[in-house]
Structure 1
Amino acid sequence: MITLNSVIDGKKANFGAVRDIFDSHGCSFCSNFEYDQGKFDAVLNRENGETIYLRVPFFVVEGMLDHSSALIQFGTPYVIKHIVNYGLDYDQNSFVTATTGLDQFQTPLDKDGQISDKSRWEQAGVEVVERIYNSMRDLVS
């Protein structure tokens, strides 16, 4: 994991407004969230089962995340690498998953894989965060 020094860290904004801006920059709101915190993800690179993500975490300051009006505060963005498991899962849920299709995604082999060329991905992450921040500068405090 590479933490990024960023202008967005500590800034506050309305969740609904910034969600649309993140989306317009290719960042998705992670569906695995709590009502008091969440994160936006962007794929920086995907190759041979390895994906490098930019992740921008945030915390709810006022309201709940299931409402667009929630006030959020951004945490420190970071870059992380996931290594995908291409094999079959043979755990206790495999039969249910195979027959129902309820769990189509396997757990990564490594959720925090070693990142080569750290300066390249640090720079890429900082650039994406800066572009996003510049698009929402009028919406943050």
Structure 2
Amino acid sequence: MVPLESKLENKIYSLFVLEELLKPEGFVIGSNWDYEKGFFDLKIDDQGTYYFLRIPFYAVQGSLDYPGVTVRLEKPFLLAHQYQKGYDESGSAGAFQGTFNQFQAPTDPDAEVPEAYITTGKELMKRVEDLIIPRD
């Protein structure tokens, strides 16, 4: 995990507005959310290791399943997960086996993030800041 500096840290926004701005850029709300916190995730690459830009957020008014919830953004970070290779790269394991393999745990849930991805993450965060922070 590599923390990234951001002007957005500790800023409060409507979750709806953030979704409207970030989803067209490829961000999704990660499936590991609960009623108080969640993450905006952007997959940067998946060449043997999955690299994500992750922006955590916490509910400050309402809960995440509540319309009109307001959230506080936390320190963004880069995350690398290295997964096991499938039984057969050609796909001969079949759809049935794939149903179970999609839920496998990463072999290294906190793999090293190369400098090139750190640079990319910083550039992406600058773009996110430009989308969210109103211009003066």
Deviation at 1:62, TM superposition (A): 0.7
Map 1:65-84 → 2, pairs under 5 A: 65-84=64-83
The percent of aligned pairs where both chains have the same amino acid is 26
Query: Mind listing any 5+ residue stretches in structure 2 that lack a counterpart?
Result: 88-95
State the partner residue of 1:56. 55
State the partner residue of 2:114. 116
State the partner residue of 1:8. 8
Task: Select the residue among 110, 113, 123 that pairs with 1:127.
Answer: 123
State the partner residue of 1:39. 39
Query: CA separation in 2, counterparts of 1:9 and 1:65?
Result: 19
Coordinate RMSD, CA, aligned:
1.9
State the partner residue of 1:95. none
TM-score normalised by the chain length of structure 1 = 0.79
State the partner residue of 2:90. none
Partner SS, residue 118 of structure 2: helix
Corresponding residue pairs, total = 125
Partner SS, residue 135 of structure 1: helix
Higher relative contact order (CA 8 A, sep 6+): 1
